[in-house]
Structure 1
Amino acid sequence: MITGLYHAHASSWAITLLLFFIAYFLIVANKQKPGKIVHMVLRLFYVIMVVSGVGLLINYQFALTFLIKGLLALVLIYFMEMILVRTKKGVLIGKMKTYYWIQFAITAILVVLIGFNVLSF
Structure 2
Amino acid sequence: MSQQLINIFYQSHIGSWAILVLLFFVSYFLVKGGIRKGGKIVHMILRLFYIIQIVSGVGLLMAYQFPAAFIIKGIIAIVMIYAMEMILVRTQKGTMEKGGLYWAILLISLVLVILLGFEVISF
With normalisation by structure 1, the TM-score equals 0.96
Taking the aligned partners of 1:24 and 1:11, their CA distance within structure 2 comes to 21
Alignment correspondent of 2:106: 104
Alignment correspondent of 2:78: 74
Matches within 5 A, 1:34-53: 34-53=38-57
Structure 1, unaligned stretches of length 5 or more?
A: none
Backbone CA RMSD of aligned residues:
0.7
Matches within 5 A, 1:8-23: 8-23=12-27
Structure 2, unaligned stretches of length 5 or more?
A: none
The aligned length equals 119
Aligned amino acid, residue 119 of structure 2: N
Cα deviation for residue 3 of structure 1 reads 2.0
Taking the aligned partners of 1:106 and 1:115, their CA distance within structure 2 comes to 14
Deviations 1:89-110 (A, max 9, x none): 00013xx111111111000000
2:120 partner SS: coil
Deviations 1:14-72 (A, max 9, x none): 11100000000000001011000000000000000100000000011000000000000
Alignment correspondent of 2:90: 86
Taking the aligned partners of 2:8 and 2:118, their CA distance within structure 1 comes to 16
| Greater displacement, 5-14 / 53-62 | 5-14
1:84 partner SS: helix
2:34 partner SS: coil
Taking only the aligned residue pairs, the percentage that are identical comes to 55
Alignment correspondent of 2:66: 62
Q: Following superposition, which runs of at least 4 residues in structure 1 exceed 3 angstroms of deviation?
A: none
